[in-house]
A and B are shown apart, each in its own frame.
Chain A
Amino acid sequence: MSEQPLKIMVIDDENIVGKRLKPALEKTGDIVETFEEGEKALARFDESPFDIVVTDIRMEKIDGIEILEHILAKSGRTKVIIITGYATVEIAREALSKGAFDFIAKPFKPADLRAIIERASKELRS
């Protein structure tokens, strides 16, 4: 029996990130929705939770850590993966402390993110 596709949300204010990641992540049959604004993404999440959320940290209005907190308060089972071009030890530790599943610095290859999603998927299905 084939596994249910994962619902994956990608949030990044740089349009190109969502454009690149969407087809790469959909290759394995998962359902991917991309957002450039945090508020719209959270409104969509409140309507219907996602299994995995991939979010940038530095964004206008709502940053990635606020998104992480909001999502985990709504759905403890969702795996949140933080992506950032401004990675530091402090930010990485803060993200993990607040419940992020993983943290990856930009630029990265779609395959690197895919590997993290596979691990998250295993945990979700275990």
Chain B
Amino acid sequence: MSIIIISSDVREIEEMIAGKVAEEKGYGRLDRRIINDVAARHQVEPGRLIEALETTPSLFRKLSSRQWRYYLSCIEADVLERLLADNLVCWGLAAHLYVTDISHAMKIRVLAGKSSGLAKIAEERGISLQRAETYRDDEMARRKKWSLAAFNQDETDLSRYDLVISLDQIDPVETVRTITGASEYRKFQVMTYSMKCLTDLALAAKVHAVLLKSMADVKVQARDGSVVVSTRASTRQKRKKTETIKALAGQVDGVGYVEVHVKKNFLKETA
């Protein structure tokens, strides 16, 4: 029993490999097909959620930083809740950036490489290999910027993955076999500790999404149903904000106790 999270520098490659791994393992698939459900649950437009996964806040697209963070938090909360079911292959939802410190979640990075990845880009876009390489490099720089802004994690940093495979060296069939084989290692199997960590992470994400709907600048941690929310407020707003957070977080299923830590917001204090 485990979770396999696959990401790649080329979206099409990610989808192709992840789909085949899911098929080979007989695992469920967790990908962008859930976006409509997430959107319905949080009463937002599906297109806005996809946009949040692809871009950073922009005045031109009328996507504020606060909305962007809220949309991402909705996706994160739903993905983490679904991951509690186990035996899943997940891709396309940025889970490799927020499923952290879960020992039964194996994170894979598939590097498309020149032979297959760039050829695929060149063919699909009708451009030369050289232009495809430039396109891929630009895309990687953009994703790095996005991942740092969204989750303070650099998705191009290969040291954060459990397994990195280059399609230049290992063909797709062997890649799928390698991933399915590695997922059988005992170290990636579910245990009481890892399941508890995932449950805590999922609860924190759920509370985070609820709070971000009406406020910004909140951090949430959870442990065994107890939730600690850190935020900022002016002295005047501190009491009201604390009460609001306690009321909102307290309504979330699974929350038994809420503690709020408020730091002074010096900008508002001096305004």
Contacts and interface: CB of A to CB of B under 8 A. Distances in A.
B196 interface: yes
A89 interface: yes
A62 interface: no
B82 interface: no
B193 A92 contact: yes
A7 B189 CA distance: 26
Interface string B241-264: 000000000000000000000000
Nearest to B101: A89
Contacts of B191: 92, 96, 102-104
A44 B55 CA distance: 62
Of the listed residues B103, B189, B193, the one surrounded by the most CB atoms of chain A closer than 10 A to its CB is: B193
A112 B224 CA distance: 12
Interface string A89-104: 1001110110100111
Contact of A112 (B103, B187, B189, B192): B192
B192 A93 contact: no
B193 A93 contact: no
Given A89-B103, A93-B103, A104 B187 contact: no
A80 to B, nearest CB: 12
B192 A102 contact: yes
A54 to B, nearest CB: 12
Contacts of B102: 89
A97 B188 CA distance: 9
Contacts of B194: 89, 92, 103
A116 B196 CA distance: 13
B192 A96 contact: no
Given A89-B101, A89-B103, A93-B103, A103 B193 contact: yes
B185 interface: yes
> Across chains A and B, which 8 residue pairs bring their CB atoms closest together, nearest first?
A93-B187, A97-B187, A92-B103, A104-B192, A89-B103, A103-B193, A103-B191, A96-B186
Given A97-B186, A102-B191, 18 more contacts: A88-B101, A89-B102, A92-B103, A92-B193, A92-B194, A93-B187, A94-B187, A96-B189, A97-B185, A97-B187, A102-B193, A103-B191, A104-B191, A104-B196, A105-B193, A105-B196, A112-B192, A116-B192
30 contacts: A87-B193, A89-B101, A89-B102, A89-B103, A89-B194, A92-B103, A92-B191, A92-B193, A92-B194, A93-B187, A96-B103, A96-B186, A96-B187, A96-B189, A96-B191, A97-B186, A97-B187, A99-B186, A102-B192, A102-B193, A103-B191, A103-B193, A103-B194, A104-B191, A104-B193, A104-B196, A105-B193, A105-B196, A112-B192, A116-B192
